[in-house]
A and B are shown apart, each in its own frame.
Chain A
Amino acid sequence: MADLLVEFFQWGFGVTLVPWLATLLGIVVGVLVIALPLLLAVAMSVYMDRKVWAGMQMRRGPNVVGPWGLMQSFADGLKLFLKETIIPASANKFIFLLAPALTFLLALVAWAVVPFDAGVVLSDINVGILYLFAISSLGVYGIILSGWASNSRYAFLGALRSAAQMVSYEVSIGFVLVTVLMTAGSLNLSDIVMAQKGQWFLFSPLLPMAVVFFISALAETNRPPFDLPEAEAEIVAGYQVEYSSMAFALFFLGEYANIILMCAMVSILFLGGWLPPLDWAPLYIIPGWIWFFGKIFVMFFLFAWVKATVPRYRYDQLMRLGWKVFLPLSLFWVVLTGALLLFTGKIPV
């Protein structure tokens, strides 16, 4: 990216960029190239989400604004933008406003290490998978802080539920990541994708881990059936009950950006990222990023499908699933994967 910019400035303006400036500009351009389409994708995914639920409930869904209702999300965004920002009198003002910004920011920075195609990644770091895990484990702060700063019972209850829930499911996500990185032999996301050439991890002994990861991803993003932090029927909307206008919009955008990120993670870890399903030359005619976006699309459909069909879990059932089912299962699978790799002599070096 930096070399390209140096050439561009040389050609367009006849000036030579200083190397550090070129690097900096390259990063800024890279960030914009990822973040802007991501925001568009978030808007469209909200629309798709609503259309899928509508279809499953035999309704029409949004169909008024723009052709087939395509502009609905933008209309909603504009409406939110024009609303008044209300800050409760007894709220802790700074933290109250920090929380939605943090949620949104974390949802965006995680995309820095996601590889869209071979070599197409903003920052190809050695510990990409740990970075993603670290960022997704920070997501809980946005919710805890908003719940505490709102100084409201409903918000606080929602925040407490969410903190307990996200911490519980992170443990099994961690173990699932361990099985994947043992099989791939690397913490680098591009290497993990390349290790799946010809055989996705989905069609290997890691299949149960893919299921565990998907369900834990639902819990991490507070999607139904694990949307207890919001639980509009009991605690009206949980941590976001006091928020209005853009502060609410930031939560909303952050939530959907996180969902798309989780879809991307499932695609990278188990569905071979930008690779086609078979290692067969004609399939490589389709560019890698189309495969990748297609996989994200399918995963997002699954997320919407689950939301439309599965009723909300009770709190003790949620905790039981996380600690008594997923944790032992994933821990056992770590040992099993290690043993399998050892005895089949497939330990990647």
Chain B
Amino acid sequence: MIYTLCFYLFAIITVLSAFMVISSRNPVHSVLYLILAFFNSAGLFVLLGAEFIAMIMVIVYVGAVAVLFMFVVMMLDIDFSELRRGFQKYLLIGGLIGLVLLAELALVGMGWGLGGPVTTDPATAIPALGTVTNTAALGSLLYTRYIFLFQMAGMILLVAMIGAIVLTHRKRPGVKKQNINKQVMRRRHEAYEIVKVKPGQGLG
């Protein structure tokens, strides 16, 4: 009973807040609704017994990705009239894309209903959920059978990251930078010298 109640609670809030993400006027509010949607989908994962994915969802999406969204959105200088003026212009093409997506969704939904039960075996048997935690089950699958795909995904992300850094990195002349190594390696004789100054003559 509580399980069903929780499911409907999470599901309804997820859908509502997902709707609010696209319909709210203020972008910061949109990001906040997005966070709410993430949270409730994490709740749905917990209900499914996938606690690892639920926690990773919160850590990665809410704790990192949404923080960056927020960071960018907060700095925007929003002109609402500017935003609304484009609405008419993009209505047609936006509506078309929306229709295509809707059709695809409907097709997927129908295929689900019409295709009958899945008969092919899953790629690898996972151990019964009662015997290991699902973190262990996921780990033993990811790091053995799917290690190549897993590492590949990591590599692609790494390349993308380095690419982004290389593209945006520029050397500006005249910037003063602290070189900690240089400071620490400095010796006394490089820093100053003692000069005996004769009275009345100065250093010359």
| B88 interfacial by beta-carbon distance below 8 Å | no
State whether the Cβ of A320 lies closer than 8 Å to any Cβ in chain B.
yes
- Which residues of the partner chain A approach B62 to less than 8 Å between Cβ atoms? 134, 137-138
- A163→B56 contact, CB < 8 A: no
Known: A316-B178, A320-B180. A127 touches B63 (CB 8 A): no
Which of A92, A137, A144, A160 is close to B59, meaning CB atoms less than 8 Å apart? A137
A31 within 8 Å of B by Cβ?
no
Does B2 sit at the interface, judged by CB under 8 A? yes
Contact A20 B1 (CB under 8 A): yes
Size of A's binding interface in residues, CB under 8 A: 27
Given contacts A126-B135, A127-B135, A144-B70, contact A134 B64 (CB under 8 A): no
Contact, CB under 8 Å: A133 / B133: no
A126-B133, A134-B55 known; A167 and B67 CB under 8 Å? yes
How close is B50's CB to chain A, nearest CB, in angstroms?
10
Q: A20-B1, A163-B67, A187-B135 are in contact. Are A134 and B58 (CB under 8 A)?
A: yes
In whole angstroms, what is the CA distance A287 to B156 when docked? 51
- Identify the closest chain A residue to B62 (Cβ): A138
**Which residues from A are CB-within-8-Å of B20?**
none
A187, B55: Cα distance in complex, Å: 12
Collect the chain B residues with CB atoms within 8 Å of residue A125's CB.
Answer: 51
* B129 CB, min distance to chain A CBs, angstroms: 11
- A148 engages B59 (CB within 8 Å): no
Give the residue of A127, A137, A317 whose beta carbon is less than 8 angstroms from that of B51: A127
CB-based contact A130/B67 at 8 Å: no
Within 8 A of A (CB), among B17-36: 28, 32, 35
Write the A113-144 contact mask toward B (1 if CB under 8 angstroms, else 0): 00000000000011100110110011011001
In the bound assembly, the distance between CA atoms of A20 and B68 in angstroms comes to 41
Q: Which B51-102 residues have a C-beta within 8 angstroms of A?
A: 51-52, 55-56, 58-59, 62-64, 67-68, 70-71, 74
Q: Majority SS of interface residues in chain A?
A: helix
Residue total for B at the interface (Cβ-Cβ under 8 A): 24
Q: In the complex, A317→B59 CA distance in Å? A: 26
Rounded to whole angstroms, the CA-CA distance of A140 and B65 in the bound complex is 12
Are A144's CB and B135's CB within 8 A?
no
CB distance from B63 to the nearest CB of A (A): 3
Chain A residues 170-194 with CB under 8 Å of chain B are: 170, 187
Residue pair A144, B51 in contact (C-beta under 8 Å): no
Q: Are B52 and A127 in contact (CB under 8 A)?
A: yes
The B interface is mostly helix, strand or loop, or mixed, namely: helix
Q: Check A140–B67 contact: CB distance below 8 A.
A: yes
Q: Mark A85-106, 1 if CB is under 8 A from B, else 0.
A: 0000000100100000000000
Interchain CB contact under 8 A, A144 and B74: yes
Which chain B residue shows the least CB distance to A144?
Answer: B70
Which residue of A20, A92, A137, A160 contacts B2 across the interface (Cβ within 8 Å)? Answer: A20
CA distance A251 to B28 in the complex (A): 21
Q: Which residues of B have CB within 8 Å of A156?
A: 74
Within 8 Å CB of B180, what residues of A?
320
In the assembled complex, the Cα of A134 lies from the Cα of B66 at a distance in Å of 13
B130 CB, nearest partner CB in chain A, Å? 13
Which residues in A have their C-beta under 8 angstroms from that of B35?
141
Tell me which residues across on chain B come within 8 A of A148, comparing CB atoms: 28, 74
User: Hey, which chain A residues are within 8 Å of B134, CB to CB?
Assistant: 126
Q: Which of B117-175 contact A (CB under 8 A)?
A: 133-135
Q: Are A130 and B59 in contact (CB under 8 A)?
A: yes
Kindly state the separation between the CA atoms of A137 and B127 in the bound complex, as whole angstroms: 32
Chain A nearest CB from B181 CB (Å) reads 11
Nearest CB on A from B22, distance (A): 19
Q: How far is the CA of A159 from the CA of B75 in the complex (A)?
A: 12
Question: Cα distance A126–B51 when bound, in Å?
Answer: 8
Q: Which residue of B lies closest to A171 (CB)?
A: B64
B interface footprint on A45-58 (CB within 8 Å = 1, 0 otherwise): 00000000000000
Residue of A whose beta carbon sits closest to that of B29: A95
Q: A127-B51, A134-B58, A144-B74 are in contact. Are A170 and B63 (CB under 8 A)?
A: yes
Chain A residues within an 8 Å CB radius of B67? 140-141, 144, 163, 167
Chain A residues with CB under 8 Å of B68's CB are 167
Q: A20-B1, A144-B74, A163-B71 are in contact. List 17 more A-B contacts (CB 8 A).
A: A92-B28, A126-B133, A126-B134, A130-B59, A133-B55, A137-B58, A137-B59, A137-B64, A140-B67, A141-B67, A144-B70, A144-B71, A145-B32, A160-B71, A170-B63, A170-B64, A187-B135
Chain A to chain B contacts (Cβ below 8 Å), 10 pairs: A125-B51, A126-B134, A127-B55, A130-B55, A131-B55, A137-B63, A140-B67, A156-B74, A163-B67, A187-B52
